[in-house]
Each structure stands twice: as structure tokens, then as C-alpha cells.
Amino acid sequence: MLGAHGASFINSCRVKYGDTFTLRLAGRSMTFLCAPSAICTFFTAPADVIAFRPAVELFTQRVFGLPSAQFFPQHYAILTSLRELLVPSELAHHAACLLGCMKADVQQHWPSAGKIELMAAIKRMLFGAAVTAIFGRPFLEAHGQQRLQDAFFAFEGGFELAASPVPHFLQPGFCRARRTLLDAFRASLKAGHFAHTVAGKLMERIDLPASILPNMLLAVFWASLANTIPAAFWSLAFLLLPENAHHLSEVLALLPGETSPPHSHSSDPAAAVDAALIQVACDRSSKLARCVAEATRLRAPGIDVRMAVSDILLPGHQPEQAGPSDPAATSARKPTNPAGCLDLTTSSSTGVSGGGPFHSPADQTNSPTSSRPSGPSDPSQVPTDPNPTGSSASERQLLVRKGQVLAVSPYEAHHDERMFGPHATAFDPERAGLQLGGGGVAGVGGLAGLVFGGGRYRCPGRYLAEMEVQQ
């Protein structure tokens, strides 16, 4: 919904309006939260305060064709089942499948010398490997990798517009691509191509009507590819920069040579090398893992969305001298607008309304609809709060009305020095992890930060995706 320059636009709004601002996008208002304390509450608030389903059901219905009444009662079971199928203990099995596919692609398509178009090569390699690992080789061979790949990238390129109110008949390319993919899933379901695959085991564990199983598989298909490919591209791109040569040298030192690794007693040298490569790919604490996490942090795609299902208070703009407090304690629902709170339902006629920097409750010179003092012209000058989840009696809180869509931009958050320390925009695999505070958020932390979402609806395929990129 924000287009190719969405990240820079969100940053410009934050610089101008502060840690909280509201945009009207495709007929819907969406309030972006940038303060660490508000982000923590966004991911940890109970479902009867901030909910996932009402914020995304229009997206899942319009993009994947999943009827809300049939899909969402099974949504959490789908997430739980995928987490169980893709647990770290299963990674070595999946890594062996991925390695075989990737080696075949390199031997067939990558030249031994000369230049290569990196993104195109990564798209082809990861598409074939990921689809084989999740959906099985019979599915890929039955419909042809190139045909499925072309349809997927046409679908993925149009899905944001497809989620908007723009009629689908004005998006023929997207509709053709979706129809091609759904027809492939229907045919393979009928032919039994998914037996003994991750996709097949998932369908055995859930209770969805047969009529929408192809649509559910399309959603899994998109989720397994859309972010992994750019993550792999940026991981390689950052490591290949001259200024990161020392990081690349450390990563290459982890890899085995073309013969058996040291101390290997295997009678099959090639198998020993493969085993060593799989071990490196599955190691989530290595220098390679940190480089992948750091690259992904710096180029985190997308936005996370939720909806307020009741009137609530969120921690607002942090005064520089804020004291400690529990952000969850400020999330209690309030039926009225308390003194000293900014009501986010009031917005300007320009389509963008600012929520800060906030003035103290006693300062009445700037109402929510008046012009506000702008933030620093340079994002790097945003003050760093050593206690990002702190609050004080003078802190201005945000009153969020029931029905308001809330959003967090991982890209913007990951370039915030309050959360990643000094020089947050630099590639530094040795930096400390995310400093979000608030008692922690499930699935959030370390160098990857918010890349995989957080809380109850965090990405169920995180470990597989990280291993796939490392491989």
C-alpha cells in the first residue's frame, strides 16, 4: 500500500510528526507506532485489546481468496502446526533437501567465471529449493518451475494493490497469476502430489473445507518465498561490499573445502562436505548467522498491522528524561479521553496527522489538529533514550479509539538508535541485539529484531527461513 518508496515516506513522516502519525491509505486510516514502548505494547497486548484478525482479514480475503469465517477459526492451528513441522530439530532434514536443490542449480546455471545477475540467480535458486522443501518435487515437476516462478512473481508484485479497494478487474496480471497458481494447487491436490511433504502434513493437522485448501496453500506458498529471496540477496550484497571484506573472510573460514573437512573419517568425501555445509547452515550462533540477521535487519520488508478492538491508552512520545515504568500498565482501556492524552481519531485534512513530538498536558498551544513542531530534519539526530520503555507522569499518552488500525514498520524501527544503539544504519554483525524492553516479546529480539513479527502471530517458519538464507 505504500509503494516502492514506502520506507523513506514513513521515515519522512516520523521526522516531521514524531513517533506516532496517522496515514489514510486506500480509504483506511492507519496509525504508525515508532516509540519502543508503544511497539512493545503493540505485540504484547491481549487479543481483546489489540487484535490481529480484524486488521488482516480483508487482506487474506482479497489476496488469497480465503473467506474470513472459514479461515480464521483455523488460523492459529495453522501457525501452531507449521511451528511444530519446522522446529529446529527438523532443520537438518530440510537443509539436506535444500542443499541438493541449490547444488544442482549452481552446477547448471552459475558460471565458473564472469558476471552473474545476482537477484535473478537467487530468485531461481531459492524458488526451486524452497518449493521442493515445502511442497515436494512432484508438485514442481508437474507444473514446471519456470511457469510457477513466473506466476508467483507476477502475483507477489501485485498483491499490495490487490489488497486495496481497487477492483480486481483492473488488475488482470495479478488475477491471471493467482488463477495459474490456484489451478496448480487444485490439480496437485487431486493427484496426491503433497503426500509426505510439509504442505501435506499441514493439511492433515487442520480442519479446513476442501474448497479453500488451494487458497490456504497459496498463502503458505507466498509466505515461504516473499521475504526469503530479498533476505538472501541483501545478505550476499552486504558481504560482497569492499568495506565488509573482513566479515566475508570470517564467514568463508567456516566453510569446508572441496575435500573432506578436517578430522572427518568419512569414506565418502562429498558426503562429508555436504554434512559440514548443513551443520554451518543450521548453526544459529555462527558469524554467518549474525551476518544474515544483520542484513535482514537493515532491509526488513513490510509492515505489521493490528486493530484496536477497544478504546485503549498506548505509551506515547518518550520525554528525554523519562523514568522507568511498565508500558503494559498504560494499556488499560479507557472509555473517555483523559486529560493530557492525544486522541488519534482527530486528523488533518491532508491525509497525514501527527502525534508528536508531544507537549506536556499543561501545554495547550498545540492541539491535535493544529500545526505541530516538527522533529529533527536528520533522523540520526533523534535523541537516544537509554531507557526506551520508560515513562513519567508528564509523558503524553495516546488514546486509540476502537476500530483504529495500528502499524509498525520493522524497517523504521531497525534504524532507530533507541532500539539498536549508535550507528543503527550501519552493517555491524557484532552489535548488540534489539533493545525493546517491556519484559520481552515472543519471537522478537537479537539482531533480527522485528523481521519475523512478534507475539502470538510471529512467523512460524523463522528457523527454516534463516537456515535457507544461510545455506
Annotated binding residues for heme:
459
23 SS3 class? strand
DSSP structure class, residue 241: S
Torsional sign, CA 427, 429, 435, 441: positive
Q: Looking at the DSSP assignment, which residues form a beta bridge with residue 405?
A: 30, 307
Residues 94 and 92: their CA atoms lie apart, in Å, by: 5
List binding-site positions.
459
Q: Looking at the DSSP assignment, which residues form a beta bridge with residue 109?
A: none
Looking at this protein, which amino acid is placed at residue 442? A
CA geometry: angle 453, 454, 457, nearest 5 deg: 85
Q: Looking at the DSSP assignment, which residues form a beta bridge with residue 400?
A: 312
Residues present in the chain in total: 471
Backbone angles phi, psi at 439, to 5 degrees: 85, 0
Q: How many CB atoms lie within 10 A of CB 233?
A: 19
Q: Which helix (H) or strand (E) holds 24?
A: strand 20-25
Residues 344 and 314: their CA atoms lie apart, in Å, by: 11
| Buried-exposed string 455-471: b where 16+ CB fall within 10 A, e elsewhere | bebbbbbbbbbbbbbbb
464 to 66, 69, 214: CA distances (angstroms): 25, 30, 22
287 to 242, 250, 254, 392: CA distances (angstroms): 18, 7, 8, 40
Long-range contacts (CB closer than 8 Å, 24 or more residues apart) made by 107-111: none
Taking each helix axis from N to C terminus, what angle separates 118-135 and 145-162, rounded to the nearest 10 degrees?
A: 100
Q: C-alpha 302: how far from its chain's center? A: 6
Instruction: Check: CB of residue 10 under 8 Å from CB of residue 32.
Output: yes
Residue 152 is placed in which grid cell? 508467483
329 to 33, 55, 323, 397: CA distances (angstroms): 18, 24, 14, 12
Mention every residue, 6+ apart, whose C-beta is less than 8 A from residue 251.
239, 287, 288, 291
Residues 39 and 56: their CA atoms lie apart, in Å, by: 18
